[in-house]
Amino acid sequence: MLPPSTRRQDLKEVIAVFLKMGFTAFGGPAAHIAMFHEEVVVRRKWLDDQEFLDLLGATNLIPGPNSTEMAIHISFLRAGWAGLVLGGACFILPAMLIVTALAWVYVRFGSTPQVGWLLYGVKPVVIAIILQALWVLGRKATKGILTALVGLGALGLYFIHVSPLVVLLVGGFFVMALKNINLLGKKNIRSWIAFWGGLGIPLLTATPFSYWLLFWTFFKIGAVLYGSGYVLLAFLQADFINKLGWLTNQQLLDAVAIGQVTPGPVFTTATFIGYLLGGVPGGVLATIAIFLPSFILVALSNRLVPRIRNSPYFGTFLDGVNAASLGLMAAVTWELGRATFIDPFSLIIGLTAAVLLFRFKVNSTWLILGGAAAGLLRSVL
């Protein structure tokens, strides 16, 4: 066991790192994970590439926001149970506070502040950060032709709208089966499919607003949701518009937009909705509810990751999941890039960020701030 003084220092580092990330991690889960890789693998050497990939694969197998769960996993490994709680909370808290402030402005003035200039400059930098992570992690995750084919297959399946969970499971089982064909014998995956399918929880019935129901609805979403922010949008619409009737379509779209343009987890969309429905208590309650399952699932699964890696079945399964997750990440990056590089100036920002990142190893935080400044400059030209 580490001496108390060392453990306290590790906890301070965890708090500092993830509080900074909470304020600067723009761009969604793929960008967050890329920034985590640079910070905890490249700069601080807390993990090596394989350990980072294994954690990434583990987060892809459980419901909830991947980047937040990565923050919780890393914090747990670095600083124990206190790190699990405080590291995750520090990554969430800045976004929660910013979204609450924007929700107050929205309620008071009936519109969201204009942040187009910020996004214009930040998004090209985010693409460069994701590409760097894909390059580094892709070389580690590609352990031969089999995993390379899984990554390419995941890329293709994404564009024909196959569920990300299905893509990950298929990739994992494909690699596991082919690498352990003699050990597997007649075993099949029906029990696994039944397990994942059993996570579904029936939707709630329409009822007047209550804080308890607000908490339960967001807790349920955090416990069963896989996929991107677009999947979150589908869950929110089904529950808060179709079933409960608590929001309008415009309010929901505004909530999702705020969650996407602020730093930190996209799931802080819940903070905005909670504030609209129940003020500050509603915002706090909704935030706790949607993120609580992630803390529970990480606490339950963290110690299993080394055992999974050492198993002949699950180690190869995790190799397949890692390759598939990077294929999905590449597909998302392609879509983001098409929406991001809309004119020569945005392309210049992205290329400049890529050169500074790949060639000169400039910290991604400074690049994000530089992109924001470039966006502001563009708005006044």
Measure CA 195 to chain center. Answer: 23
Domain-wise residue ranges, the chain: 4-198+298-380
Place of tokens 């518009």: 241
Nearest to 59 by CA among 215, 164, 191: 164
Q: What is the pLDDT of residue 189?
A: 46
C-beta neighbour count of 114 within 10 angstroms: 8
Backbone region of residue 279 per phi and psi (left: phi > 0; alpha: psi in -120 to 50; beta: other values):
left
Helix and strand counts by DSSP (H, E) for the chain: 17, 0
| Secondary structure letter of residue 41 according to DSSP | I
Is residue 2 helix, strand or coil? coil
Instruction: Identify the sign of the CA torsion 326, 327, 328, 332.
Output: positive
Place of tokens 């580094």: 136
What is the residue-level pLDDT of the chain in tens, covering all 381 positions?
Answer: 445 557 788 899 999 999 999 988 876 777 788 889 989 998 898 998 888 988 887 787 777 888 899 999 999 989 889 999 999 999 999 999 999 998 898 887 665 555 667 768 878 887 887 788 788 778 877 888 989 999 899 889 888 877 776 787 888 888 888 887 755 554 454 444 444 444 444 444 556 889 999 999 999 888 877 555 555 776 787 788 878 889 887 788 778 767 766 888 888 889 999 999 999 999 999 999 999 999 998 888 877 766 766 677 777 887 888 788 788 878 878 877 887 898 999 999 999 999 998 888 887 778 878 988 998 888 887
| Overall residue count recorded for the chain in this entry | 381
Give me the DSSP letters along 257-301.
HHHHHSSS-GGGHHHHHHHHHHHHHHHHHHHHHHHHHHHHHHHHH
Q: Does this model's pTM top 0.85?
A: no
Measured CA to CA in angstroms, residue 181 lies from 176, 293, 344, 369 at distances of 8, 35, 51, 50
Structure tokens at 172: 């994992």
As a 3-state breakdown, the chain gives helix, strand, coil percent values, each rounded to 5, of 80, 0, 20
Q: What is the pLDDT of residue 203?
A: 42
Q: What is the pLDDT of residue 64?
A: 80
Backbone region of residue 114 per phi and psi (left: phi > 0; alpha: psi in -120 to 50; beta: other values):
beta
